[in-house]
């Protein structure tokens, strides 16, 4: 039996990781502020790292911002997967995911602003919301829980509804995010062929506690 020994990162590796993390944090802040038309110097200043260190990690601004979007979507996925871990019904998994996402507006505003400022492109991104939602919709259709003709169109309809909801909550910070989210979730479930009674039942169930990012 061969035992693999993992060498802990040395000081140089740790410094590189800190620099990369600082660049990604700065990129997320800039994305959240909708400020992507900036120079690399402005990015490294925001990250408090040397200008030359940028190219040790990324070839361009576009690569950095794309990495920041992917990292944000992965954070969302980790959060979402933890919340729905105890559910089996794909329709309920979709419902809980949708209700959870609308509530992120007040709990994790930077994450939501990155999603909003990235725009509809997140609905076709390989990471994050879209793959999980598509899988849930397809499984709910297969189980006879959703009545949809085309899973991809259903995904776009649900994703558009979610982005619209998040934009509304962004423009009305005083609004009752939970109530509006549940109302939008109810509307999407009805659009997917669910009865009023069943949609209302799913939208009224208590949500599991949301873990920290």
Question: Residue 212: pLDDT band by 50, 70, 90 thresholds?
Answer: confident
In the chain, the percentage of residues whose pLDDT exceeds 70 is 96
**CA 124 – CA 82 distance, rounded (Å):** 23
Q: Do you know the residue count of the chain?
A: 213
Arithmetic mean of pLDDT, 95-115: 92
Arithmetic mean of pLDDT, 163-190: 96
Angle at 159 between CA 97 and CA 170, to 5 degrees: 85
pTM over 0.85: yes
Burial class (CB in 10 A: 0-12, 13-18, 19+), 63: exposed
Cβ-count burial 178-211 (b if 16+ within 10 Å, e if not): eebbbebbbebbebbbbeeeebeebbeeeeeeee
Q: What is the pLDDT of residue 107?
A: 83
Residues 6 or more apart whose CB falls under 8 angstroms from that of 207 comprise: 83, 96, 99, 100, 103
Instruction: Indicate if the pLDDT at residue 8 is higher than 70.
Output: no
DSSP annotation of 195: -
**CA 172 – CA 159 distance, rounded (Å):** 20
């Amino acid at each position: 039996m061969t035992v693999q020994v993992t060498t802990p990162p040395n000081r140089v590796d740790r410094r590189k990781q800190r620099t990369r993390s600082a660049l990604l944090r700065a990129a997320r802040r800039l994305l959240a502020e909708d400020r992507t038309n900036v120079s690399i110097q402005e990015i490294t200043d925001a990250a408090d790292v040397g200008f030359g260190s940028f190219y040790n990690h990324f070839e361009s601004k576009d690569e950095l911002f794309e990495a920041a979007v992917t990292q944000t979507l992965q954070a969302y996925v980790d959060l979402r997967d933890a919340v729905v871990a105890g559910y089996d019904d794909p329709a309920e998994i979709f419902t809980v995911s949708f209700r959870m996402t609308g509530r992120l507006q007040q709990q994790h505003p930077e994450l939501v602003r990155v999603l909003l400022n990235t725009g509809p492109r997140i609905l076709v991104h390989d990471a994050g919301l879209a793959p999980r939602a598509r899988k849930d919709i397809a499984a709910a259709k297969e189980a006879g829980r959703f009545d949809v003709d085309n899973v991809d169109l259903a995904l776009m309809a649900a994703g558009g509804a979610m982005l619209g909801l998040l934009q509304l909550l962004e423009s009305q910070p005083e609004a009752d995010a939970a109530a509006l989210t549940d109302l939008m979730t109810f509307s999407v479930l009805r659009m997917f062929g669910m009865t009023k009674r069943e949609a209302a039942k799913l939208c009224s169930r208590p949500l599991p506690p949301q873990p920290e990012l």
